[in-house]
Structure 1
Amino acid sequence: MRTDDMNSITSNTSMACMHSIANDGMTLRPTETGGRVMELFRDYADINLICVADDWNRPLGLIERQHYLSLMSSPYAYALYHKRPLTLMMDAQPLIVEANTPIPVFTHKVLSRDENSMHKGFIIVENGIYLGTATPFDLIRASYMHSTNMSKMLHEKTQILNDIFSEITTTTQSINQGAETLKHESDTLFVRNDMQNMNLVKSDDKIKILMESTEEKAEQIESSRVFIKNATQDIEASCGQINDTIEKFYEMSNISSDIGSVLEIMGDISFQIHILGVNASIEAAQAGDYGKGFSVVADEVRKLAAVTSNSLEKIKSLVNYSRTTIQNCVELMSTNSSSLTEITKKVDNISKLFNEFGIFAQTQKAEILDLYKLMSDVRDSTRTNTETVNKTNDICQILFSNVSDLTRLTAQI
């Protein structure tokens, strides 16, 4: 807003040029006579200057009323100039000025001339073409108006400058307060950056410890995975051996069944021998004394049959016990085989979990490494922020100094 006011005042002052004081005076051609000049001065009392111009309206000279009347007041002047060309009584070298010439510039030019020429009128042209005439009085009046306008302008400018200085003072105070606030915030940020840097160092140490622990855990997981893998292989081998043993027990059970069948046949044979012994005893008894020897043999046969039958019963009992025991062992080993199979599956699942743990540990290690790099970047950023804060404090000090100088200069103005 202040700049617009200054521009408005400057533009108003720049319009004070010579075209503003040009009077639309009379013009005559050089072929006119002195009598025509007399008629114009007589009929138009307010005309003091007549411009002599050619057919293109370019000034050739200037006739002033005072000079003309002074010339005509001499003896025989009327008879001498009345019918003669007016060029004899004009000023052939008048002062000519362009219309866009500033009034102060032309005033300085007029004052630079000799005193006898200062009272003469002058011609105002525009690009060499007649525009009007003016007298020194017109110039003095315009100069006075220009001086008045300049005084008014200077007064307004002074008022504007006072307002600007007031605004500068207010702005300087605001800048000073802002600089103090900025310095306070910079100091606070510096302290926070320092604390953050300390925390980053601690976090850095913790991350290093965590990385070492993660690597150690990864190695332990890998060792456990290898151990579980070997254990799984051992369990699978044991399952194979148990299955082979079960097959052997099945074969033994089948053999026991075969032995039982043989024992049943032998039992039948023993029973037949017993029957044969009984029949032999009966026959020996019927034979009397001739059959006594045969009776002894028959008794021995019956005893042998009885012993054989008892032995077969014991063997059969043992075989049945063996079959039952073998069957129980088969069932128990089948159960153990199933349990081992389930254990193998679970161990395999555990192995898969350890593999996943290993992958997770590697991923975690990579993430921790990325975090470590990120913390390094944050640490570098914190260091940069600290340097920036230091530079900001230096700038604040310079700003304080500049504001103080500006305040001092404003007070002097």
Structure 2
Amino acid sequence: NEANSLSQGAEVLSEKVQQQAAAVEETSATMEEMNAAVQNNTENASQAAEVVERVQTESEQASQVMSRTIEAMNSIQDSSNEIADIVTLIDSIAFQTNLLALNAAVEAARAGEHGRGFAVVAGEVRALAQKSADAAKDIKHLIDSSVQRIGQGTKLASESGEVIQGITDSINDVATMIHQINTASQEQAEGISQVHQAINDIDSATQANASLVDQTSDSAQNMRQQANELNENMAFFKTNHVAPMSMTTASKPAYALVNTRQVASQPTRSVTKTAQKPQEPANSGSDDEWSDF
């Protein structure tokens, strides 16, 4: 019974260890897949960090270009304002020239025949002054329009610069987060690699335990088989020896059993003395026994 219990326990333990080995092997495969996925994520994070660094550099360059553009437009606006002032001065000079030409024409008219030529010159000067004044007004109008547009462009450039600066700041934040993700992914990959190695060690130990349990199960089965064979042999001996003794005992009366027990309880030397006595005839008492039978 104990051999059977030991064999059954060894078989159950072998099944449990095999199930545990299969579970550990599946866990090891899952950890290996997870490790590969984390390695892939780490590589992707590294590539994303490189891309973000390039975008960060380009955004900083764009921000610098936009700053220089705003400075250039502000300079153009200042130059346009100076040109507008110059045109205003030209318009004022043309107006004063027109007044002087008008006065010269009046004086030429007073001079009569002697001032006729001077009157013609004064008229031409007045006409040129008027043309200069008209041209100055047109230039001033164009410059005012240009200054207004330059002001709008400068405002838009400033807003664009602020937007680019905000994008640059966001890219810097993204770069920082990606760097942190990359670092965390590397640490996670190292941790998973260590866990994977530990699971492999557990798998190896479990396989070794499974092998030992199989050996124990085989030994238990052999022990059970030997125990069964021993039980069969014991049953065989009991059948061959106990049964004739019981038949002889049953054929003898009760006093014979008592004498037999007394003889068996005597020392060995008394048995030897009894053996030295002359034997009785073989047929003594046999007729009575057969008749009783």
Common fold, TM-score beyond 0.5? yes
Aligned equivalents of 1:292 and 1:281: distance in 2? 9
| Correspondent of 1:189 among 2, 13, 16 | 16
In 2, are the aligned partners of 1:242 and 1:333 still within 8 Å (CA)?
Answer: yes
Which residue pairs with 1:383 in the alignment? Answer: 207
Where does the alignment leave 5 or more consecutive residues of structure 1 unmatched? Answer: 1-171
Highest RCO, 1 vs 2 (Cα 8 Å, sep ≥ 6): 2
Aligned equivalents of 2:48 and 2:18: distance in 1? 48
Helix, strand or coil for the counterpart of 1:357? helix
Residues 329-355 of structure 1: per-residue CA shift (max 9 Å, x gap)? 211111111111111111111111121
Aligned equivalents of 1:301 and 1:340: distance in 2? 56
**Structure 1 residue ranges (4+ consecutive) displaced by more than 3 angstroms after TM superposition:** 193-198, 206-217, 401-413
In 1, are the aligned partners of 2:108 and 2:119 still within 8 Å (CA)?
Answer: yes
State yes or no: 1:178 paired with 2:5. yes
State yes or no: 1:263 paired with 2:263. no
Instruction: Give, as a single letter, the amino acid of the residue that structure 2 aligns with 1:266.
Output: I
Aligned equivalents of 1:311 and 1:299: distance in 2? 18
Instruction: Give, as a single letter, the amino acid of the residue that structure 1 aligns with 2:214.
Output: N
State yes or no: 1:358 paired with 2:176. no
Aligned equivalents of 2:14 and 2:58: distance in 1? 69
Deviation at 1:237, TM superposition (A): 2.5
| Correspondent of 1:229 among 53, 65, 75 | 53
Q: How many residues align?
A: 237
In 1, are the aligned partners of 2:97 and 2:125 still within 8 Å (CA)?
Answer: yes
Deviation at 1:307, TM superposition (A): 0.7
Aligned equivalents of 1:199 and 1:228: distance in 2? 38
In 1, are the aligned partners of 2:4 and 2:224 still within 8 Å (CA)?
Answer: no
Which residue pairs with 1:252 in the alignment? Answer: 76
Structure number with the higher strand fraction is 1
In 1, are the aligned partners of 2:20 and 2:206 still within 8 Å (CA)?
Answer: yes
Aligned equivalents of 2:75 and 2:152: distance in 1? 14
Mapping of residues 14-413 of structure 1, within 5 Å: 172=1, 175=2, 178-179=5-6, 181-189=8-16, 191-193=18-20, 195-196=22-23, 199=26, 203-204=28-29, 207-401=31-225, 403-404=227-228, 405=230, 409=234, 412=238
Aligned equivalents of 2:25 and 2:83: distance in 1? 88
Larger Cα-atom Rg: 1
Instruction: Give, as a single letter, the amino acid of the residue that structure 2 aligns with 1:340.
Output: I
Alignment CA distance shift 1:375-1:179 (3 Å): same
Which residue pairs with 2:268 in the alignment? Answer: none
Residues 261-304 of structure 1: per-residue CA shift (max 9 Å, x gap)? 22222211111111222222223333333332222112212211
Residues 144-188 of structure 1: per-residue CA shift (max 9 Å, x gap)? xxxxxxxxxxxxxxxxxxxxxxxxxxxx4xx35533541441353
Aligned equivalents of 2:34 and 2:25: distance in 1? 18
In 1, are the aligned partners of 2:10 and 2:216 still within 8 Å (CA)?
Answer: yes
Residues 43-80 of structure 1: per-residue CA shift (max 9 Å, x gap)? xxxxxxxxxxxxxxxxxxxxxxxxxxxxxxxxxxxxxx
Deviation at 1:383, TM superposition (A): 0.3
Aligned equivalents of 1:291 and 1:408: distance in 2? 169
In 2, are the aligned partners of 1:277 and 1:302 still within 8 Å (CA)?
Answer: yes
In 2, are the aligned partners of 1:263 and 1:312 still within 8 Å (CA)?
Answer: yes
Structure number with the higher helix fraction is 2
Deviation at 1:390, TM superposition (A): 0.8
Give the TM-score taking structure 1 as reference length.
Answer: 0.51
Give the TM-score taking structure 2 as reference length.
Answer: 0.70
Aligned equivalents of 2:21 and 2:55: distance in 1? 54
Helix, strand or coil for the counterpart of 1:303? helix
The alignment's C-alpha RMSD in Å is: 2.8
Aligned equivalents of 1:297 and 1:361: distance in 2? 91
Aligned equivalents of 2:204 and 2:168: distance in 1? 53
Instruction: Give, as a single letter, the amino acid of the residue that structure 2 aligns with 1:288.
Output: G
- Percentage identity across aligned positions? 21
Residues 215-244 of structure 1: per-residue CA shift (max 9 Å, x gap)? 344334323322322332232223223222
Where does the alignment leave 5 or more consecutive residues of structure 2 unmatched? Answer: 243-293
